[in-house]
Amino acid sequence: MSEPGSLGMRMREGSGSDGLAGVILLGRKEMRRGWVTYPSRSLVGSRAVSLLFALLINVQAFFLPAFFFSDLGRLGASYVWFAGTWIGYVLVSSGLVLFIGLTAGSRSYAPLSICLGISLLFALAFLEWTAGFSLIDGSAELARDYGALPTVLSILAGVASFAILSSATADRLKKRSFAS
């Protein structure tokens, strides 16, 4: 599988749920060393699939109640375009979460995520209060005025950024000797 000194996410046998199963599949040399390597594309791919699955569930959990219990329901059929625009935004943020989650150290992940979230919150609040910039109302107007065009562009940009950040995450893992 991997030669001594190769890049790889190493896991001591018995330290994870699949540690022993992974060691059984390795050669005798790997078994003596007690390390299992995982390809970076597999690590990133499994995390990306779980993020996209969570997106599917959270879209329904958020946008359906927002349609029925807020004044956004007045958009009617344009609400689908409004939700699609926000799904594009969520794809961008999911790519960032994937990148930060797999490349930041375990000690810096939580503080980095919290600082990023708080700074984004303050930046949007500053724009809302000073410039009269309304992200939700602006998205609703785009959906009402232009229909599917902003949604398609937002989702395409979100998918492109998610793919680029996923690839960058896999490359960064290889460079940092966390995966093969």
Over residues 51-99, the pLDDT tens digits come to 888 888 888 888 888 888 888 888 888 888 888 888 888 888 888 888 8
Are 23 and 102 part of one and the same domain? no
Q: Which domain holds residue 1?
A: 1-37
Residue 1 lies in a domain: yes
Contact 91, 55 (CB under 8 A): yes
Q: Could you tell me if 12 and 45 lie in one domain?
A: no
Q: Residue 110: what pLDDT?
A: 82
Task: Say how far apart CA 170 and CA 73 lie, in whole Å.
Answer: 41
Number of domains in the chain: 2
Looking at the fold, whether 94 and 30 belong to one and the same domain comes out as no
User: Is 46 in the same domain as 127?
Assistant: yes
Considering only CA atoms, which of 5, 15, 7, 12 is closest in space to residue 31?
12
For residue 95, being part of any structural domain is answered with yes
Q: Taking the model in full, what pTM does it have? A: 0.68
- Asked if residue 180 belongs to a domain, the reply is no
Residue that is written with structure tokens 């794809």 in the block: 91
Structural domain contains residue 49: yes
pLDDT digits (tens, 9 = 90+) for 130-143: 887 787 888 888 88
Per-residue confidence (pLDDT) for residue 37, from 0 to 100: 65
Please tell me whether residues 60 and 31 are part of one structural domain: no
Q: Please indicate, yes or no, if residue 106 is contained in any of the structural domains.
A: yes
In a domain, 76, yes or no: yes
Residues 147 and 61 in one domain: yes
Are 92 and 56 in a shared domain?
yes
User: Same structural domain for residues 64 and 3?
Assistant: no
3-state secondary structure of 129: helix
Same structural domain for residues 87 and 8?
A: no
pLDDT for residue 51: 85
- Do 26 and 47 fall into the same domain? no
Residue positions counted in the chain: 180
Residues 17 and 100 in one domain: no
